[in-house]
Structure 1
Amino acid sequence: MIVPASPALIRDAFPDSVRRTRAVSVWAMAGSSGAAAGPEAGGLLSQVSWLMIFFVNIPVGLAGLALPARTVPVSVVRCLSTGPASSQPWSRRVP
């Protein structure tokens, strides 16, 4: 559910085409490097202890919570905090 939504969030967060291109490039690089390094890192961690593959998610999850606080523009946060779409005037049905 996150992968299809992330390009839409990038498009809304970066209206300038130059900055959007860089954001999509970083997004693609992060996804592809994670897909390439994940199996190798899991194999190395399982050599130490198979439980380590679960504990590695703690710092990754904390980084996933901390990084958007520093990198997501305030306008996107303001847009996301306005509530559900049904509360927007343009989404109301006209009887």
Structure 2
Amino acid sequence: MISFVGDSLSVDDRSTAEILDLHLNRSGVKSMNIQLKSEQEQFIRSQIDRGECQTAEDVISEAFKLLEARTKKIEELRQKIAVGTAEIANRQMEK
């Protein structure tokens, strides 16, 4: 298990600590406990090893950016569907 408390990282095993050597010296960092599946941990390690990201924090930040973009796109599509559905309903009522 990984525990974030302020600027500190606490882990239950050394290999996880080495992988998740996070630099949490930014203001506004909140506490959160997370558990990673081994394949998630391996993915984070591979991203760092390949040079895609420098730290585990970078990997997680990128994942959040992608999730936020996906969520925004889904909401935009839902709104367009609602508008289209309303327009169709209005046209049917006009007939």
Question: What TM-score comes out, normalization by structure 2 length?
Answer: 0.30
Structure number with the higher helix fraction is 1
Using the size of structure 1 for normalisation, the TM-score is 0.30
